[in-house]
Homo-oligomer: A and B are copies of this chain.
Amino acid sequence: MAAKEVEKEQNAMPFPALDAKDMAILKLLQQNARITVREIAEQVHLSTTPVHERIRRMEETGVIKQYATLVDHAKVKKGLMVICYVSLKQHNRRAGARFIKDIQEMQEVIECYNISGEFDFMLKVVAENMDAYYDFHVNKLSQVDNMGHLQSVFVMGIIKQTHQLVH
């Protein structure tokens, strides 16, 4: 398969509805991004050309966002995972945009969602250990402009972690 990276405007194009064969292809790719087109073709009972064409189209239309390699947290010294809740002092557009920009630049923050409820954002943060997280919390996150309340919830165990949206 090609070494070409998927980088498209995510919501730019309309896309035709995915049929059962597209879903079957996606399911296989989800589990193993490096499966060969041949192997997919065999399993979905097509030849390589249409499989190739369908994958190309799903890349183009943004159905496929990325081919990612998932790495063991602990083995790259990111053994601590923390869920962090944030509320801002002010809620105008400028303040929000500034916060978002800051968050996107922080390598420790691997996910950030705008959420309903008493807090404004939920962050997933990874760090080597508690010292590193404390440093991040006190010296980076707390220092962000317009920061209101902050609450940390520690992940003590990973029960399930998957990216399987298609079944």
Interface residues of A, Cβ cutoff 8 Å to B: 1-6, 10, 15, 18, 23, 26, 29-36, 38-39, 61-73, 75-76, 78, 81, 83, 100, 103-104, 107, 109-117, 121-122, 126, 153-167
Question: Considering only CB atoms, which chain B residue lies closest to A152 in the complex?
Answer: B116
User: Using Cβ atoms and an 8 Å threshold, which residues of chain B touch A76?
Assistant: 18, 23, 26, 63, 165-166
Q: Are B34 and A109 in contact (CB under 8 A)?
A: no
Q: Are B71 and A68 in contact (CB under 8 A)?
A: no
Contact (A71, B67) CB under 8 Å given A33-B34, A117-B153, A164-B107: no
Contact residue among B69, B121, B157 (Cβ-Cβ distance under 8 Å from A64): B69
Q: How far is the CB of A103 from chain B (nearest CB, A)?
A: 6
Contact (A33, B165) CB under 8 Å given A18-B76, A116-B154, A117-B153: no
Q: How far is the CB of A34 from chain B (nearest CB, A)?
A: 5
User: Using Cβ atoms and an 8 Å threshold, which residues of chain B touch A110?
Assistant: 160-165
Q: Are A65 and B61 in contact (CB under 8 A)?
A: no
Question: Considering only CB atoms, which chain B residue lies closest to A25 in the complex?
Answer: B69
Q: Are B160 and A109 in contact (CB under 8 A)?
A: yes
Contact residue among B1, B3, B5, B62 (Cβ-Cβ distance under 8 Å from A72): B62
Q: How far is the CB of A165 from chain B (nearest CB, A)?
A: 5
Q: Are A67 and B65 in contact (CB under 8 A)?
A: no
Taken together as a complex, chains A and B put the C-alpha atoms of A26 and B77 apart, in Å, by: 13
User: Using Cβ atoms and an 8 Å threshold, which residues of chain B touch A166?
Assistant: 71, 76
Q: How far is the CB of A98 from chain B (nearest CB, A)?
A: 12
User: Using Cβ atoms and an 8 Å threshold, which residues of chain B touch A167?
Assistant: 107
